[in-house]
Amino acid sequence: MSIITVYWALVLVFSLAIIAGIRLFYREADE
> Which residues of this protein are in contact with another protein, per CB under 8 A?
2-7, 10-11, 13-15, 17-18, 21-22, 25-26, 28, 31
Tell me the closest approach of the beta carbon of residue 9 to another protein, in angstroms. 9
Tell me the closest approach of the beta carbon of residue 16 to another protein, in angstroms. 10
Tell me the closest approach of the beta carbon of residue 19 to another protein, in angstroms. 9
Residue 16 φ then ψ, to 5°: -65, -40
- Taking phi over 0 as left and psi of -120 to 50 as alpha, with beta for the rest, 27 belongs to beta
